[in-house]
C-alpha cells in the first residue's frame, strides 16, 4: 500500500514515561473479540516495513505497528543514550497501555526481536505468541559491524534515484535477488521526502547508543532471557544468507527450545522482509495454533 492511498489504519500517538510523543499505526480489530498483534521493527526502520504483513493480519487481528523513538513519526530524543533496549521496552509497554491491550502476539524483526525477549522477561505472559525475525540472543560480529558501518552514516542524497542506489549499496549483500522495482519500494520504506528530497527516516544519533563502548543498546547475555520464551509458542524466521544469525546460534536456540517453529527464507540475508505469501502464511498459521 502506498502512502497516497487511504490507509486502513488509524494514527495512534501516545506519551512515553519520559515525555516523548510516540507513534504507532493501529489497524482496528475486525471483530470485538479479535486478538491483537504487535509488530516491532529493526534498528533504523519504521512502520512501513510491515505494510504488507499488517494488511494481511488485519483481516483477523487488531494490529499495532510501533515506530520507536527517533524513527518515523515518533519524536526524536534529545538524549541519544536513551536510544537503547530498556527505553524501547518501556515505550512498548506504554503503547500497550495507551491501546488498552494487556496481551498480544508479536513479530519482532532484528532489534524488535531483542525487545520481545526483554519484554517477555519483564512481564511474563504479555505475549501469546512470539515470532523472532532473523535475530537471536547472540549476534554475529560480521553482521553487527556491517550495521554499525552504515547506521547514522548515510551521505546526503538529492534524488530518489540516488536514494535507491544508496540503499542498494548497503543492503545488496542481504538481498542479492531483489528486483529493480523491489529496490525502489525498499528505498521508500527507509526514506521519507522533505521538500522533494529523500531523507533517511530516523534520527542519525540512534547510532551513538549502538557504537558506544559502554552501550547497553544490545544487552550482553540474552541466553537466559531467550530461555524464558519457551513458555509460549515461539517461531524463528531466518534469512539463509544472514550475517547476524548464523547456524551455530540457530542450532543452540533449537536445542534450548525444541518446540520452536523454524522457517528459513532462501536467498535472503538480514532480515527477511515478511512480504512473501509463503512467509505470511506461515506466520498466520503459527498465530492460529
Cell of 187: 528505498
Q: How far apart are CA 38 and CA 164, in angstroms?
A: 29
pLDDT digits (tens, 9 = 90+) for 144-193: 888 887 776 677 899 999 999 999 999 999 999 999 999 999 999 999 99
Which residues are within 8 A (CB) of 7 and not within 5 positions of it... i.e. 6 or more apart?
1, 25
Contact 238, 143 (CB under 8 A): no
**Rounded mean pLDDT for each run of 10 residues along the chain, 289 residues in total:** 66 98 97 96 96 97 98 97 96 98 97 97 97 96 85 82 95 96 96 95 88 58 95 97 97 98 98 97 96
This prediction's pTM: 0.95
> 10-141+214-287 has which fold?
Rossmann fold (3.40.50)
Q: How far apart are CA 184 and CA 186, in angstroms?
A: 5
- What DSSP line would sit under 32-45, residue for residue? TT--EEEEE--TT-
The pLDDT value given to residue 214: 53
Amino acid at each position: 500500500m502506498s502512502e497516497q492511498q487511504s490507509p486502513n489504519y488509524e494514527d495512534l500517538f501516545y506519551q512515553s514515561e519520559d515525555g516523548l510523543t510516540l507513534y504507532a499505526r493501529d489497524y482496528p480489530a475486525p471483530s470485538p473479540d479479535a486478538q491483537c498483534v504487535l509488530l516491532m521493527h529493526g534498528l533504523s526502520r519504521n512502520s512501513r516495513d510491515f505494510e504488507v504483513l499488517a494488511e494481511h493480519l488485519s483481516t483477523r487481528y487488531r494490529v499495532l505497528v510501533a515506530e520507536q523513538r527517533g524513527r518515523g513519526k515518533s519524536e526524536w530524543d534529545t538524549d541519544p543514550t536513551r536510544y537503547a533496549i530498556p527505553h524501547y521496552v518501556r515505550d512498548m509497554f506504554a503503547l500497550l497501555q495507551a491501546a488498552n491491550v494487556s496481551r498480544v502476539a508479536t513479530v519482532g524483526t532484528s532489534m524488535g526481536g531483542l525487545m520481545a525477549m526483554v519484554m517477555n522477561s519483564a512481564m511474563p505472559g504479555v505475549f501469546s505468541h512470539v515470532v523472532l525475525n532473523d535475530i537471536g540472543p547472540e549476534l554475529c560480529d560480521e553482521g553487527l559491524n556491517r550495521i554499525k558501518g552504515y547506521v547514522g552514516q548515510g551521505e546526503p542524497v538529492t534524488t530518489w534515484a540516488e536514494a535507491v542506489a544508496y540503499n542498494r549499496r548497503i543492503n545488496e549483500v542481504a538481498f542479492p535477488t531483489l528486483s529493480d522495482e523491489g529496490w525502489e519500494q525498499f528505498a521508500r520504506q527507509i526514506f521519507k521526502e522533505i521538500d522533494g528530497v529523500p531523507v533517511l527516516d530516523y534520527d542519525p544519533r540512534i547510532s551513538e547508543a549502538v557504537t558506544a563502548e559502554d552501550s547497553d543498546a544490545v544487552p550482553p547475555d540474552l541466553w537466559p532471557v531467550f530461555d524464558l520464551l519457551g513458555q509460549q509458542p515461539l517461531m524463528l524466521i531466518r534469512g539463509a544468507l544472514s550475517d547476524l544469525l548464523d547456524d551455530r546460534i540457530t542450532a543452540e536456540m533449537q536445542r534450548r527450545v525444541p518446540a520452536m517453529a523454524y522457517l528459513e527464507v532462501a536467498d535472503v540475508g538480514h532480515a527477511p522482509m515478511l512480504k512473501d505469501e509463503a512467509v505470511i502464511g506461515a506466520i498466520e498459521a503459527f498465530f492460529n495454533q
